[in-house]
Chains A and B, each alone.
Chain A
């Protein structure tokens, strides 16, 4: 089973700042990695798939990069609605499909 480790666990930033979130895989997942955003009481929402492709309707301030074992989600300038928990997920070697433990982006 591929384990995804996200860091940091919590990121404290102010609106307008740049957010950089990391996801590391226990073995190569090529580019088969996605990022989801989850707000309290809501289901996850797909943001990025295949490491760097934005899902429909996702603002351009969200970008994904990386391949192999190291991936990054960047939010170029945080908007108030971006404060949430972010999860990565792999589909390289499955079943099982696996998710990371999450990074909470909170208001500083």
Chain B
């Protein structure tokens, strides 16, 4: 069964750093497109970052230069390193895999998703 489990969220002061983890099972992270999406309370989802199977990365402008997406192939885990955190980064952070239908995998349609981890940036 394909499963994603995020950890690492919590309360952090503005300017602080946090690293989120997304442990995958049932598939290989390094062979798939993986993404982070966040959702502020009461708002719609916001795409944050994506890593391709070849290791290439993309970021939303709002996090570029502050957040870094990476993966550990030996642990089959995706990460999001978040630095210089701001109040507006407060959200539930989800990891998701690029959706696959048969032999075709899509870089920018997302499913399955993890359950999310809450990041609260506040003093």
In the bound complex, how far is the Cα of B102 from the Cα of A55, in angstroms? Answer: 11
A20-44 contacts to B (CB < 8 Å): 34, 36, 42-44
A42 cross-chain contacts in B, Cβ below 8 A: 115
Q: Which of B37, B110, B114 has the most CB of A within 10 A?
A: B110
Interface size class of A (residues with CB under 8 A): 20 to 34
Nearest B residue to A34, CB-CB: B109
Residue A101 interfacial (CB < 8 Å): yes
Cross-chain contact A95 with B116 (CB below 8 angstroms) = no
B111 cross-chain contacts in A, Cβ below 8 A: 45-46, 55
User: Smallest distance from the beta carbon of A8 to chain B beta carbons, Å?
Assistant: 15
Cross-chain contact A49 with B109 (CB below 8 angstroms) = yes
Nearest A residue to B42, CB-CB: A102
In the bound complex, how far is the Cα of B114 from the Cα of A102, in angstroms? Answer: 20
- Number of residues from B at the complex interface, CB < 8 A: 25
Select one of A55, A94, A96 contacting B101, CB under 8 A: A55
Residue A97 interfacial (CB < 8 Å): yes
Residue B26 interfacial (CB < 8 Å): no
In the bound complex, how far is the Cα of B111 from the Cα of A34, in angstroms? Answer: 11
Cross-chain contact A43 with B99 (CB below 8 angstroms) = no
A-B contact pairs, 22 of them (CB 8 A): A34-B109, A43-B96, A43-B113, A43-B115, A44-B37, A44-B94, A45-B111, A45-B113, A46-B109, A49-B106, A49-B109, A53-B101, A55-B101, A55-B111, A56-B101, A89-B45, A94-B108, A95-B50, A95-B59, A97-B108, A99-B47, A101-B44
Q: Which residues of B contact A (CB under 8 A)?
A: 37, 43-47, 50, 58-61, 94, 96, 99, 101, 106-111, 113-116
Q: Which residues of A contact B (CB under 8 A)?
A: 34, 36, 42-46, 49-50, 53, 55-56, 87, 89, 91, 94-102
